[in-house]
Amino acid sequence: MDIIKALVLGLVEGLTEFIPVSSTGHLLLLEHFFGFDDDALGKTYVILVQLGAILALLSVYFGRLWRVALALPTSADARRFVIGVLLAFLPAAVIGYVLIGFIKSQLFNPMIVCIALILGGFVLLVMDERKTEATLDDAMAFPLMTYLKIGFFQCLAMIPGVSRSGATIVGAMLMGASKRAAAEFSFFLAMPTMVGAFTLEAWKSRHDLTLDGTILIAVGFAAAFLAGLVVVRFLLDYISRHGFAIFAWWRILVGAAGLAGLLVFG
């Protein structure tokens, strides 16, 4: 059974991390209703599965990131983009570090997840139907203050069920970004955010890390990497053509099913 849990958790992490449906919310609901708890598989498993999703994103964007890195000494645009990503990352880094204890103890419960999923779904539907013409089409060329404001929107994702990518996308669109540019910047911002969270969790759990259950770790890592790879490669084109409606309705469906489950089963 553990290998099934490892596979399911890896797939859920990889499939939901980069789309606006909340990976944390889905994992919490899996844990509550099906007993798919991360702790049963160990700290090492949890950390390395997240690393699989991070590496999927980095593998797709490695070429562009490498070109930006090479251009830093000579290109003001490259330096401005890097500063912009760091500005967007800063609010979540500071607020998350200060409030992590409160967030995990008070907000990580299924009821909050379900409500956040439903409300976020309706927000995405509204954003999908907005007629305002986008003024920002290049995720690597937003104004610096726009990057910072998007970073504050990302902080909303500290509420499980909101979705890091969803909050980032909505914030970017409210600042004037096109759907594609907003989604792509959510990828760029995911890199320091996920690496930071991964590093912090790995450091805090350094004494608990073992290689027990290597097969389970490998299964979860591979599942998260492959699922994340598929999502990152195809998401931007899908959003450009079809918008966010499918993700919005998925959120509403999962949130409503979760609320029904809580009423029936507790």
Domain boundaries along the sequence of the chain: 2-265
Phi and psi at residue 73, in whole multiples of 5°?
-65, -25
Instruction: Return the bridge partners of 177, or none.
Output: 136
Higher pLDDT, 48 or 128: 128
Neighbours of 138 (CB within 10 A): 14
Phi and psi at residue 81, in whole multiples of 5°?
-65, -45
Question: What does the pLDDT read at residue 141?
Answer: 95
**What single DSSP character describes residue 44?**
H
Please name which of 241, 257, 238 lies closest in space to residue 249, comparing C-alpha atoms.
257
pLDDT at 5 > cutoff 90: no
Mean pLDDT of 105-113: 90
The torsion region of residue 143 among left (phi > 0), alpha (psi -120 to 50) and beta comes to beta
181, 138 Cβ separation under 8 angstroms: yes
Query: How does pLDDT run across 58-84, given as a tens digit for each residue?
Result: 999 999 999 999 999 999 999 999 999
What's the CA gap between 102 and 265, in Å, rounded?
27
Question: What does the pLDDT read at residue 213?
Answer: 65
What's the CA gap between 61 and 223, in Å, rounded?
19
What's the CA gap between 214 and 211, in Å, rounded?
6
Lowest mean pLDDT among 6-20, 34-48, 152-166: 34-48
Span between the terminal Cα atoms of the chain, in Å: 24
